[in-house]
């Protein structure tokens, strides 16, 4: 079946540096993508989303890039802080009807002081 | 506004026992979802309810049943628990009218011995 996967399971960066988390998706029909942050012992928390009619979307310290040609999604976090340490998941969906998200495996981001 | 709440937070069962996980949302969302998350993996959809009065299978429905009790509440039942059902269970809700993203509860950590 179709699935969303991540290139790297773990990522460590120095506090203050920028981080990039990658995601590959395989369902070309997907037109809505979301990044979630999951802290230990908690449920996933929405970070940012992007629709397939966009290539880039920016939020506060976060940017999501979408490359539909190679079915690749990335999350950039600027000036990382200790509170950014978490597992990050990408998820995909086809808009319309019930929202049935397909999640990737996740990347654990560790911010080193 | 509590968002999505789940009970219990933790549960230990013996093989063959039954239990019901409870979920409630106070955001007036139409759709509700049950996911499971196994160690080192993303979330997988068990069942969902697109609207009050309807339920549908997700990716991994075997061994589970659900009930959409009313618009607020969506329960997940394990009739005869198996060790393979040891996991963290998350409930989520969503409404196309108010948001493009699902909101998640804090999770229930279930261990089946």
Q: CA neighbours within 13 Å on the CB side: how many for B18?
A: 7
B97: contact with A, CB 8 A cutoff: no
Q: Do residue B50 and residue A97 have CB atoms under 8 angstroms apart? A: yes
- Residue A6: is its pLDDT beyond 50? no
Alpha carbon distance B73, A53 (integer Å): 35
The length of chain A, given as a count of residues: 113
Residue position matching structure tokens 């659900």: B66
pLDDT in tens, B37-66: 998 788 999 999 999 999 999 999 999 999
- The pLDDT, as a whole number, for residue A3 is 46
Q: Helix, strand or coil for residue B85? A: helix
- Three-state SS letters, chain A: CCCEECCCCEEEEECCCCEEEEEEECCCCCCEEEEEEECCCCCCEEEEEEECCCCEEECCCEEEEEECCCCEEEEEECCCCHHHCEEEEEEEECCCCCCCCEECCCEEEEEEC
Chain A residues whose CB is inside 8 A of the B31 CB are 98-99
| Average pLDDT score, chain A | 89
Q: Are A47 and A62 in contact (CB under 8 A)?
A: yes
- pLDDT band at residue B23 under the 50/70/90 scheme: very high
Q: Are A64 and A92 in contact (CB under 8 A)?
A: no
- The pLDDT, as a whole number, for residue A27 is 87
B101: contact with A, CB 8 A cutoff: yes
Phi, psi of B34 (to 5 degrees): -120, 130
- The pLDDT, as a whole number, for residue A7 is 45
- pLDDT band at residue A2 under the 50/70/90 scheme: very low
pLDDT (average), residues B26-47: 92
B27: contact with A, CB 8 A cutoff: no
- The pLDDT, as a whole number, for residue A1 is 34
């Amino acid at each position: 079946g179709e699935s969303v996967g991540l290139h790297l399971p773990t990522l460590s960066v120095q506090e203050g540096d920028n981080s990039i988390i990658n995601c590959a998706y395989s369902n070309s029909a997907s037109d809505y993508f979301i990044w979630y942050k999951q802290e230990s012992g908690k449920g996933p928390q929405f970070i940012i989303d992007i629709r397939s009619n966009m290539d880039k979307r920016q939020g506060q310290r976060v940017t999501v890039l979408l490359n539909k040609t190679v079915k690749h999604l990335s999350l950039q976090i600027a000036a990382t802080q200790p509170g950014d340490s978490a597992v990050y998941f990408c998820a995909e969906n086809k808009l319309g009807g019930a929202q049935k998200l397909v999640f990737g495996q996740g990347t654990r981001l560790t911010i080193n002081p | 506004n509590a968002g999505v709440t789940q009970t219990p937070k933790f549960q230990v069962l013996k093989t063959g026992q039954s239990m019901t996980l409870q979920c409630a949302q106070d955001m007036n969302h139409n759709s509700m979802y049950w996911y499971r998350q196994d160690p080192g993996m993303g979330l997988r959809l068990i069942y969902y309810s697109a609207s009050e009065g309807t339920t549908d299978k997700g990716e991994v429905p075997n061994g589970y049943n659900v009930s959409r009790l009313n618009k607020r509440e969506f329960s997940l039942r394990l009739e005869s628990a198996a060790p393979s059902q040891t996991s963290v269970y998350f409930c989520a809700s969503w409404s196309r009218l108010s948001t493009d993203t699902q909101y998640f509860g804090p999770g229930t950590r279930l261990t089946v011995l």
